[in-house]
Structure 1
Amino acid sequence: MVKKEIMYQTNFQTKEELFQGVTAFLVDKGFATAEFEAALREREERFPTGLPSEPPAAIPHSDGTYAKEDVIVGILNEQPLEFYQMGTNKSTLLHPRIVFVLLVRDKVTHLDQLQRIIEKAKDHDFLVRLQDASDEGQFTSLIQEEL
């Protein structure tokens, strides 16, 4: 079972701040090791995770080496962050406020969850409802029920 956690209305200024903040959040909850932050940075540098959805989203992740438990963190940042679009060799910059951080130990489950998030990110209505969530409870319900 993959847990779902929420970071609502965060105020990260850069994706690097987000990586630091989400790692601290996951370490505090006992879900990850501190090395997860460096793994996120390295993977994002090599393989960008921005999705050209509308509104845009991003799914930063690394392999399960740093996971103590399986978790997806749904994040809604107050302002857009810069992520390069997946599969574009850093030629296309996106500005998502919605970020899904994936941390799963098993490779098969990791791939299944990644594909599920990518499919869900094609749902314009879902992303708009996430971005327009009026409070943390509404945002949490959407993540819990639909991911």
Structure 2
Amino acid sequence: MDLQLDEKLVFRNISTQSDLDTLAFLADALLENGYVTNEYKEAIQQREKEYPTGLPSSLPAVAIPHANYEMVKKTTLAIATLERPVLFHNMENNKESIEIQIVIMMAIGEPHGQVEMLQKIVGIIQDEPLREQMVKASSDKELLELLKKAIA
């Protein structure tokens, strides 16, 4: 999988009001930088309603939204840490909500690439000290380096 990580898709301490607001912010950044098609934003928001992406874990918790590979022009990840956690529905139980503070949006342009990337992201989810470092990163560049190291 040819993954390009781009500093233009790294956002620290953004302030959003909801899960859909957060998804729109990251999807817009992916579109503006030529990684996805126009349909991606609506698709990712619709998918979140049907298949939530909040992962149960210790805090800071992570959400890993993604949409169909056919809407992706170039494979990448967009990441945001949130100034204040927002509620995402629990991937394992749609009736529960989780306070999410890290969102890693996957834009994977290959049919089977999502499974491969999910396996790498699970390492981040299982590493509480790494998640804390991500939330405390002092610059977008530092956050990008932490992400690179985590999925290398």
User: Is the pair's TM-score, using the shorter chain for normalization, greater than 0.5?
Assistant: yes
Aligned to 1:119: 123
The structural deviation recorded for 1:114 is 1.5
Quick check: 1:137 aligned with 2:141?
Answer: yes
The amino acid across from 2:4 in the alignment is K
The amino acid across from 1:57 in the alignment is V
- When normalised by structure 2's length, the TM-score is 0.89
1:87-126 → structure 2 map (5 Å cutoff): 87-88=92-93, 90-126=94-130
State the distance in 2 between where 1:17 and 1:76 align: 13
Secondary structure of the corresponding residue to residue 32 of structure 1: coil
Once the two structures are superposed, what CA deviation does each residue of 1:76-112 show, in whole Å capped at 9, x if it has no partner? 1111111011121x22210111000001111221211
Secondary structure of the corresponding residue to residue 45 of structure 1: helix
The structural deviation recorded for 1:135 is 2.4
The amino acid across from 2:79 in the alignment is G
* Length, aligned pairs only: 146
% same residue: 22
State the distance in 1 between where 2:20 and 2:12 align: 17
Contact in 1 for aligned 2:66/2:106 (Cα 8 Å):
yes
Contact in 1 for aligned 2:44/2:67 (Cα 8 Å):
yes
Task: Structure 1 unaligned segments of length 5 or more: list them.
Answer: none
Quick check: 1:13 aligned with 2:14?
Answer: no
Contact in 1 for aligned 2:120/2:150 (Cα 8 Å):
no
Identify the match of residue 35 of structure 1 among 36, 39, 49: 39
Aligned to 2:3: 2
Once the two structures are superposed, what CA deviation does each residue of 1:27-85 show, in whole Å capped at 9, x if it has no partner? 11110112111111111111111011222110011111210100111111111111011
State the distance in 2 between where 1:39 and 1:17 align: 14
State the distance in 2 between where 1:107 and 1:126 align: 29
The amino acid across from 2:104 in the alignment is F
Secondary structure of the corresponding residue to residue 75 of structure 1: strand
